[in-house]
Amino acid sequence: MNQHRPNSENPAGNPNDIEAIKKRAHRPKKAVITAAMTYANGPIHLGHLAGANIPPDVYARYMRMLIGAQNVLFVSGSDDHGSTSELAALKAGKTTREFIDEIHQQQYATLKRYDVSLDVYSGTSRPECFPIHKQMAQDFMRKLNNNGLLNKRISQQWFDPKVGRFLQDRFVQGKCPNLKCDNENAYSNECDKCGTQYTPTELLNPRSAISDATPVLKDTVHWFLDMWKVSETLRVWIQGKEKTWRASVFNEVINTVLPSLAFSNIHETKYKELKTSLPKHKSKYAAGKKIQVQFENKEDLNQGQKLLLDNGIENELLDGWAHRSITRDVTWGIPLPEEWGPEIAGKSLYVWPDSLIAPIAFTQVALKKKGLDPAKYEEFWKEPQAKIFQFLGQDNVYFYVLMQGAFWVGSQKDPSKLPAAGDFQLTDIFGSFHLMVDGEKMSKSKGNYFTGDQLLDEKGYSVDQIRYFVTLLSLPEKMSNFDFENFKERNRFLAGPMNAAFEKPISACHSKFGGVVPKGILLDKVQAETAKIIQRYLRSMERAEYSTLLYAVENYARLVNSLFVQTKPHDDRFPEEERNNGLFSCFYILKNLMIMLYPFVPSTMDRLRQSLNLPESVFTIEELGTPIPAGHTIGQKQEYFPAAD
């Protein structure tokens, strides 16, 4: 019983320690949270929910508890432009506008069902967004062009002679050029089966998705973004994120942006002789019988390149990642600036930079929706003390870090420097790997493809059961599996031990204490465990590390059962003081559980709040570690997590 000795010196349970812990939490002045945009070509499915929608919603709810809802904007929208939506509309026999509007409405309805608390769900082509988006995107393009980061190139693109139009990526399909892949329906620039990326000329047996004609390659002018010109600025920024970004995100982009060169392995002996004379570097064997050498900065690269050449080692700069076309031959999208001349006819901004800029427009739409001045978006995007947190698929990290970073710094007055106040601030990135279902990639033919609505309407699961389980998965670290047997087991835990932690104190309060919190003092063990879990909670939530955190919160909930075993608040044959202290401490735990779990399972925790007879304003970090006062009237039990099958 010593571990449950009451803290008699301070009935509040030594709040100074917990207050100090809460004060150490990093609080940005403002925060924007963006959810990965969903293509406007189909419904929200389980993979979208697990990787793109629920994790940022948890984060947005946490940020509102931390810095106040008035300082947080959670924005997203459908990714309307590009070939994906246009091709889907074509197959559906509808106009692109009509098709996108229907899909957008369906997607938004599903997100609302899952309590995804967006301040706005707009879309890149929607009338409330498009004019703002167009202005912002063209402003970026002009500034990049003026700063010398855009250059025109003639390249060959597929052209459908039957319908007389260029065919963007998804309008051309053919045999994947990867000899180990048998996909006959690979797109013109990448295979979604094996993941190989290639140039359009490498696609085998190409055919038009519009007319089924055999397309021909035709010269066309496009604008390319030169990220190499700002790669050192990006490198310095990324290196500063080593301790805060997820390892998978950091490692991918730092190994891309660090300057590298390659040479034939026939020079390996000579290279080894020179190795100690070269600036600090790393080397490895690379494809094509080559050796790749990675330097720490461009100055070292230039020195190393010269030394190798002086010693007869011909080498090539590995800067292919840094040169990307940002325009496409398609009219469905953001038009290019008119002053760029007649060459812009029939062209628009590539869907990737289009979607990177879109959240800025969504933010302005959200502010207008709230009755605020849209110009206040600068307080969220251009203020160094504000933060932008972006949740996206791991396969999109390149675009959101390197391409977006180049757009941001490349449009500044001085692209060689990191953003200052008044510039677009570089963002923080949370990547998520792909979700598998029952051990396999989701597929309609395999019967393991589920839309968000199907899980609720056909499977009969509750929203919070799904929200809780997907945040337990390890998607931030690796491809993870939604196993239905594990899902059912977790539901049994929620319906059993977790519900019991909620219900026992409420039942005992009504049956033995007249429905009010007894006058008691907080037990030492409870105060110590609370300090630990709050510290972990704040640290884990800031980093969006939900999985291990939830298991720790579950262990904290088990304290309630432990207290019932040891202090017997439900049994009036035991000492009154111990029972009072035990139940008082249980309600203290219950309030903390309710607040900590609210971002994950908001509807269930709101029902618990009603049972505890607490105001909606209780959902704030400041309320963590503060007891429900003695004499407070407790409401009735409700159904929290549903019974599991």
pLDDT tens-digit map of 85-123: 888 888 899 999 999 999 999 999 999 999 999 999 999
* Mutual angle of helices 576-597 and 546-567, in 10-degree steps: 170
193 phi and psi angles, rounded to 5 deg: -90, -45
Tracing tokens 């963006």 back to the chain, one arrives at: 34
Contact 17, 534 (CB under 8 A): no
Q: With b meaning 16 or more CB within 10 Å and e meaning fewer, what string describes 438-468?
A: eeeebeeeeebebbbbebbeeeebbbbbbbb
Nearest to 283 by CA among 268, 302, 300: 268
The terminus-to-terminus CA distance of the chain in angstroms comes to 38
pLDDT tens-digit map of 501-520: 999 999 999 999 999 999 99
Amino acid at 239: Q
pLDDT the model gives residue 16 = 54
pLDDT tens-digit map of 245-257: 999 999 999 999 9
If pLDDT is split at 50, 70 and 90, which confidence band does 38 have? very high
Q: Which residue has the higher pLDDT, 445 or 562?
A: 562
Torsion of CA 78, 81, 86, 92, to 10 degrees: 10
Q: Is 53 left (phi over 0), alpha (psi -120 to 50) or beta?
A: alpha
Average pLDDT, the chain: 94
Nearest to 565 by CA among 482, 504, 625, 621: 504
Joined tokens for residue 392:
């996206």
The pTM assigned to this predicted structure is 0.93
Q: Calculate mean pLDDT across residues 424-449.
A: 88
- pLDDT at residue 167 greater than cutoff 50: yes
pLDDT the model gives residue 165 = 87
If pLDDT is split at 50, 70 and 90, which confidence band does 540 have? very high
pLDDT tens-digit map of 579-624: 999 999 999 999 999 999 999 999 999 999 999 999 999 999 999 9
CA gap 222, 238 in Å, rounded:
29
Question: CATH classification of 26-145+352-481, choosing from 3.40.630.40, 2.160.10.10, 3.40.190.10, 3.40.50.620?
Answer: 3.40.50.620
If pLDDT is split at 50, 70 and 90, which confidence band does 192 have? confident
CA gap 528, 195 in Å, rounded:
50
CA gap 172, 330 in Å, rounded:
14
Give the CA count within 13 Å in the CB-facing half-sphere of 484. Answer: 11
Residues of the chain with CATH 1.10.730.10: 2-22+484-623
pLDDT tens-digit map of 402-412: 999 999 999 99
- pLDDT at residue 2 greater than cutoff 70: no
Question: CATH classification of 2-22+484-623, choosing from 1.10.10.60, 3.40.47.10, 1.10.730.10, 3.90.550.10?
Answer: 1.10.730.10
**Percentage of the chain modeled with pLDDT above 90:** 88
CA gap 496, 501 in Å, rounded:
9
Q: Measure Cα distances from 334 to 3, 141, 519, 616 in Å.
A: 65, 11, 65, 42
Residues of the chain with CATH 3.40.50.620: 26-145+352-481
Contact 294, 278 (CB under 8 A): no
CA gap 599, 54 in Å, rounded:
10
